[in-house]
Chains A and B, each alone.
Chain A
Amino acid sequence: MERAAEVELARQLLEGKPEAFDRFVDHFRSKIFNYSRLMCGHHEDAEEVAQETLLKVFENFGQLRDPEHVRAWVFRIAKNACLIKRRKSIFAPQQEISLDELMPARGTSGDPMRIEIADWSSIPEDEVLRSELQRVMETAIAEMPEIYRSVMLLRDVEELSTEETAQVLDVNTDAVKTRLHRARLIARKRLDGYLGASSQAVEKN
């Protein structure tokens, strides 16, 4: 569902039109489920987080000042529900990974920044590869440190803006940018490793 359709549903609900209720529930339940499954790591927890989030959303719907912000508002509630579900994560160490650790390996040709890079050119055409890559992407997101995972899910999967993501996570916009960049580099490295391994397999055959 496009963002505009989502905003329209929120507007209707605010106006007291219950026709929008089922579509709103179905749409956001899937979204929150997806987000919290990758944040909490468990299917059952994700179902509970989705229900608890929606309950809070409807109890407090009158506090949504501007329907334009409905996605960020819902995800802020979802993030808090996830934190309650996984209390320990609040106290988990939140150290940044240095960019040097994420720089691609240098080759041996003597070129100062010769990067080891798999062949990415075939991705758009190959459907099988695309769905395999989706699976690799999911693993990459699920396994990256939480401070990066939370930003990547909101910025790149849910497509919230930098400012909205900062509001949801209670951090400043510079922290969102720094963490997003590291998250993408981690995901890229993982995908690159997969593409490198699969192209080697093709060459051997």
Chain B
Amino acid sequence: MASHQHDENCKKMFALLSEYLDMELPDGACRDMEAHMAGCTPCKDFTESLKKTIELCRKYRAQGMPGPIASDARQKLLDAYQKMLAERPHSPRRP
């Protein structure tokens, strides 16, 4: 009976892990999670590995960056920007 209880708690916790790590859980639910983890090493280890996954993702930087922008492409963007400035209703300042 005790082991079944444990299984259900782990499942409940598993569903809420991201919200827990993002600090988006209400206080009560957050305390329940922490109480559960204090007594459940597999859940604690799993949470730690999910946290590291998120850290790696935040540090992820593209492997292949774009080449430098072509001068005609840059000019096209600058033209669009200047046209927008010229045409908008309340232009605070013209470049």
Contact = CB atoms under 8 A, between A and B. Distances in A.
B50 to A, nearest CB: 5
Interface in B2-50: 3-4, 6-7, 10-11, 14-15, 17-19, 22, 24, 40, 42-43, 45-46, 48-50
Interface string A118-156: 101001000000100111011001000000000010001
B64 A113 contact: no
Determine the main DSSP class of A at the interface with B: helix
B52 A120 contact: yes
**Count class of interface residues, chain B:** 35 or more
Interface residues on A, range: 35 or more
Interface stretch (A72-80, A89-97, A177-185, A197-205): A177-185
Interface of B: 3-4, 6-7, 10-11, 14-15, 17-19, 22, 24, 40, 42-43, 45-46, 48-50, 52-54, 56-67, 69, 73-74, 76-78, 80-85, 88, 91-95
Interface of A: 13, 15-18, 21-22, 25-26, 29-30, 33-34, 37, 43, 46-47, 50-51, 54-55, 58-62, 99, 103-104, 111-115, 117-118, 120, 123, 130, 133-135, 137-138, 141, 152, 156-157, 159, 162, 177, 180-181, 184-185, 187-188, 191-192
